[in-house]
Amino acid sequence: MALAAAASGLHIPSSSLPPLCLLGSNPSHLSLGLANALAWRPRRGGARGAGRCAKRTGTRRYPSEKKRLDRRQKELLRQAAPEEGSAGGEGGEWGHNRRTLPPRHDPGKDFNGVSPPLLQAIAKALKFPVSSLLPEEAFTVIRKSFDARKILKEPQFVYTVDVDVKKLLDMEPRTWDFIARLEPKLGIIEYMPDEKVASDLVNMLNVHKQGSDSELGINDSVSNGSICTQKPRVAVVGSGPSGLFASLVLGELGAEVTLLERGQPVEQRGRDIGALAVRRILRSESNFCFGEGGAGTWSDGKLVTRIGRNTDGVQAVMKTFVHFGAPPNILVDGKPHLGTDKLVPMLRNFRHHLKELGVTIRFNTRVDDLVVEGGQVKGVVISDSRQQLGSPDQTLSFDAVVLAVGHSARDTYSMLLRHSVHMNPKSFAVGLRIEHPQELINNIQYSELATEVHKGRGRIPVADYKIVKSVGEGDAELPEQNRSCYSFCMCPGGQVVLTSTNPSELCINGMSFSRRASKWANSAFVATVSSHDFKPFEYHGSLAGVEFQREFERRAAIMGGGNFVVPAQCVTDFLSNRLSVTSLPPSSYRLGVRPSKLHELFPSHITEALQQSIIMIDEEMPGFVSSEALLHGVETRTSSPVQISRNTSTYESTSLRGLYPIGEGAGYAGGILSASVDGMYCGFALAKQLSLFHGDIESTLGKAQKQKGFVKY
| DSSP state, residue 253 | T
**Dihedrals phi, psi of 520, to nearest 5 degrees:** -120, 150
Q: In the chain, pLDDT over 90 holds for what percent of residues?
A: 64
As a 3-state breakdown, the chain gives helix, strand, coil percent values, each rounded to 5, of 30, 20, 45
| DSSP state, residue 134 | S
Under 8 Å between Cβ of 692 and 224: no
Of 30-34, 229-233, 476-480, the range with the lowest mean pLDDT is 30-34
Give 231: exposed, middle or buried? Use CB within 10 Å, 0-12, 13-18, 19+: middle
Would you say residue 692 lies in a domain? Answer: yes
Out of 598, 614, 635, a domain closes at 635
Q: Is the pLDDT of residue 577 over 70?
A: yes
Out of 635, 659, 693, a domain closes at 635
138-183 pLDDT, tens digit each: 998 989 999 998 888 889 999 988 888 888 888 999 988 887 765 5
397-419 pLDDT, tens digit each: 999 999 999 999 999 999 999 99
Q: Are residues 207 and 187 located together in one domain of the fold?
A: no
Q: Are residues 277 and 408 located together in one domain of the fold?
A: yes
Task: Quote the pLDDT of residue 99.
Answer: 79
**Cα distances (Å, whole numbers) of residue 341 to 267, 301, 347, 694:** 12, 9, 11, 39
Give, in degrees to the nearest 5, the angle at Cα 264 between 263 and 265.
135
- For residue 189, list its beta bridge partners: 32
Q: Are residues 404 and 432 located together in one domain of the fold?
A: no
Sign of torsion over alpha carbons 460, 461, 463, 469: negative
Peptide bond into 114 cis (omega under 30): no
Under 8 Å between Cβ of 292 and 239: yes
Q: Could you give the angle at which helices 312-323 and 241-252 cross, rounded to 10 degrees?
A: 90
Q: What average pLDDT does the segment 511-538 reach?
A: 94
Work out the pLDDT band at 70, boundaries 50, 70, 90.
low
Give the Cβ contact number of residue 141 at 10 Å. 19
Out of 616, 635, 654, a domain closes at 635
595-617 pLDDT, tens digit each: 999 999 999 999 999 999 999 99
CA distance 113 to 118: 9
486-499 pLDDT, tens digit each: 999 999 999 999 99
Q: Is the pLDDT of residue 564 over 80?
A: yes
Q: Are residues 186 and 142 located together in one domain of the fold?
A: yes
In terms of residue numbers, what domain contains 142?
70-77+88-192
Would you say residue 222 lies in a domain? Answer: no
Work out the pLDDT band at 4, boundaries 50, 70, 90.
very low
Would you say residue 550 lies in a domain? Answer: yes
Q: Is the pLDDT of residue 629 over 80?
A: yes
Q: Are residues 358 and 253 located together in one domain of the fold?
A: yes
Q: How many angstroms from the chain centroid is the CA of residue 445?
A: 23
Would you say residue 226 lies in a domain? Answer: no
| Count of domains observed in the chain | 3
Q: Are residues 548 and 527 located together in one domain of the fold?
A: yes
**Dihedrals phi, psi of 420, to nearest 5 degrees:** 60, 35
Q: Is the pLDDT of residue 13 over 50?
A: no
**354: which residues sit within 8 A by CB, 6+ positions away?**
244, 247, 248, 251, 257, 259, 361
Q: Where are the alpha helices (DSSP H) in 283-388?
A: 312-323, 340-357
Give the Cβ contact number of residue 89 at 10 Å. 20
Q: Are residues 110 and 162 located together in one domain of the fold?
A: yes
Would you say residue 413 lies in a domain? Answer: yes
Work out the pLDDT band at 127, boundaries 50, 70, 90.
confident
Closest to 523 (Cα-Cα) out of 433, 392, 621, 451: 433
Q: Are residues 340 and 412 located together in one domain of the fold?
A: yes
**Dihedrals phi, psi of 9, to nearest 5 degrees:** 150, -175
Give the Cβ contact number of residue 350 at 10 Å. 24
Burial code (b: 16+ CB inside 10 Å, e: under 16) for 91-109 equals bbbbbbbbbbbebeebbeb
3-class SS at 168? helix
Q: Are residues 408 and 442 located together in one domain of the fold?
A: no
| DSSP state, residue 4 | B
Amino acid 481 reads: Q
Would you say residue 363 lies in a domain? Answer: yes
Under 8 Å between Cβ of 387 and 370: no
CA distance 443 to 354: 46
CA distance 553 to 555: 5
Across all residues in the chain, what is the average pLDDT?
83
CA distance 515 to 338: 9
Q: Are residues 473 and 376 located together in one domain of the fold?
A: no
**448: which residues sit within 8 A by CB, 6+ positions away?**
none
Give the Cβ contact number of residue 587 at 10 Å. 18
CA distance 109 to 492: 15
Q: Is the pLDDT of residue 35 over 80?
A: no
Would you say residue 477 lies in a domain? Answer: yes
Would you say residue 11 lies in a domain? Answer: no
Q: What average pLDDT does the segment 318-328 reach?
A: 96
Task: Quote the pLDDT of residue 479.
Answer: 53
CA distance 76 to 264: 57
CA distance 417 to 437: 45
Q: In the chain, pLDDT over 70 holds for what percent of residues?
A: 78
Q: Which CATH number characterizes residue 318's domain?
A: 3.50.50.60
Q: Are residues 623 and 541 located together in one domain of the fold?
A: yes
Q: Which CATH number characterizes residue 146's domain?
A: 3.30.70.2700
Work out the pLDDT band at 211, boundaries 50, 70, 90.
low
**407: which residues sit within 8 A by CB, 6+ positions away?**
295, 637, 639, 640, 641, 664, 665
Of 23-27, 115-119, 645-649, 659-663, the range with the lowest mean pLDDT is 23-27
Task: Quote the pLDDT of residue 79.
Answer: 56
Work out the pLDDT band at 19, boundaries 50, 70, 90.
very low
Q: Are residues 115 and 132 located together in one domain of the fold?
A: yes
